[in-house]
Amino acid sequence: MPLKPLLPQKMAPAGLLTRRREPLLAALIAVLILLVGWRAPSFLTTRSMDNLLTDSAVLIMLALTQMLVIVTRGVDLSVASNLALSGMMSALLAMHFPQLPVAVVIAAALCIGLALGLINGWLIGYLSLPPIVVTLGSMSVYRGLVFVLSGGAWVSSRNMPADFIAFPLARLGGLTHLVWLAALAVAVLWYAARHTRFGRDLYAIGNDPVAAGYVGIAAPQRLFWTYGLSGAMAGLCGYLWVARYAVAYTEIAYGFELTVIAACVIGGISIAGGVGNISGAVLGALFLAVINNALPMVQISPFWQSALTGLVILSAVIINARGEKKRHKQILPLHFQADTAHVARSAP
Partner 1 sequence: ADKVRIAMVVKSLGNGFFDAAHEGAREAAKQLGDVDIIYTGPTTPTAEGQIEIVNSLISQKVDAIVISANDASALVPITKKAMQRGIKVLSFDSGIARAGRLMQLNPSNAELIGVKQIQMASDAIGGAGEIAILSATAQATNQNIWIGEMKKALTRPEFSKIRLIATVYGDDQSDKSYREAIGLLRSNPNLKAIIAPTTVGINAAGKAVVDEKLVGKVYVTGLGLPSEMAGHVKSGAVKSFAIWNPIDLGYAVTYAAYQFVKGKAQGKDGESISVGRMGSIKLDAEGEAALAPPFTYDAGNVDKFARIF
Partner 2 sequence: MSSITDTASAKAATNTATTAPRTSRYQISERGSFRAADLLRHWETLLGLLLIAVFCINCLLLPHFFDLTNLADSTFNFSEKALIALPMALLIICREIDISVSAIIALSSVTMGLANHYGVPAYGLFFVGIATGVACGLLNGLLVTRFALPSIVVTIGSMSLFRGLASVVLGDQAFTNYPELLSDWGQGYFFDVLPRPFAVLIVAAAVFALLLHGTTWGRRIYAIGNNPVAARFSGIAVDRYRLMLFVLTGAMAGLAACLLTGRIGSTRPNIALGWELEIITVVILGGVSIAGGAGTMGGVLLAILTLGMVTYGLALANIPGIIMTIVVGVLLLTTIAAPRLLRGKSSR
Partner 3 sequence: MSISVMPVPGALQPPLAPAPAFTPEVLEFPASASAAMAPVLELSGIGKRFQGIVALRDVGFSVRPGEVMALLGENGAGKSTLVKILTGIHRPDEGVIRLAGQAVSFATPQAAMQAGITAVHQETVMFEELTVAENICIGRQPLCGLPPRIDWRRMEEEARQLFARLEVDLPVQARVKDLSVAQRHFVEIARALSQRAQVVIMDEPTAALSQREIRELYRIIAQLRAAGTAVIFISHKFDEIFAVADRYTVLRDGRFIAAGALADISEPQLVALMVGREVGQVFPHHGQTPETAGAPVLEVENFSHPTEFHEVSFSLRRGEVIGFYGLVGAGRSELMQALFGLSPAAHGKVLIDGKPIHVNSPAEAIAHGIAYVPEDRQHQGALLSLPIFQNITLPILSGIGFFLRRHRRRELDIARRLSEQLELKATHFHQQVAQLSGGNQQKVVLAKWLATNPRVIILDEPTKGIDIGSKAAVHRFISELVQQGLAVILVSSELPEVLGMADRVVVMHQGTVQKVFSRAEATPELLVAAASGNLPSATGSDPINSDKETMSCH
Ligand X SMILES: Nc1ncnc2c1ncn2[C@@H]1O[C@H](COP(=O)(O)OP(=O)(O)OP(=O)(O)O)[C@@H](O)[C@H]1O
Q: Which residues of the chain form contacts with ligand X (CB under 6 A)? A: 6, 329, 331
Cα separation, 137 vs 87, in Å, equals 20
The amino acid sitting at 89 is M
What are 1-7's contacts with CB under 8 Å, separation 24+? none
Subset of 260-299 contacting partner 1 (CB under 8 A): 292-293, 295-299
Q: Which does 274 bind (CB under 5 to 8 A by kind): partner 3, ligand X, partner 1, none?
A: partner 3
Nearer to partner 3, 96 or 325 (CB): 325
**Residues 133-152 as x/- pattern, contact with partner 2 by CB under 8 A:** xx-xxxxxx-xxx-xx---x
The amino acid sitting at 276 is G
By CB under 8 A, residue 128 contacts partner 2: yes
Nearer to partner 1, 84 or 192 (CB): 84
Cα separation, 234 vs 231, in Å, equals 5
71 and 275 in contact (C-beta within 8 Å)? yes
Query: In this structure, what is the dihedral angle of CA atoms 314, 279, 134, 225, given to the nearest 10 degrees?
Result: 180
- Applying CB under 8 A, which of residues 132, 136, 218, 258 lies at the interface with partner 3? 218
**Residues 161-200 as x/- pattern, contact with partner 1 by CB under 8 A:** --------x-------------------------------
- The closest alpha carbon to 92, from 187, 6, 165, 160, belongs to 160
Which 8-state DSSP code applies to residue 34? H
The span of 106-114, 216-224, 286-294, 303-311 binding partner 3 (CB under 8 A) equals 216-224
Cα separation, 232 vs 69, in Å, equals 13
The span of 41-49, 173-181, 319-327, 337-345 binding partner 2 (CB under 8 A) equals 319-327
**Residues 254-283 as x/- pattern, contact with partner 3 by CB under 8 A:** --------------------xx--------
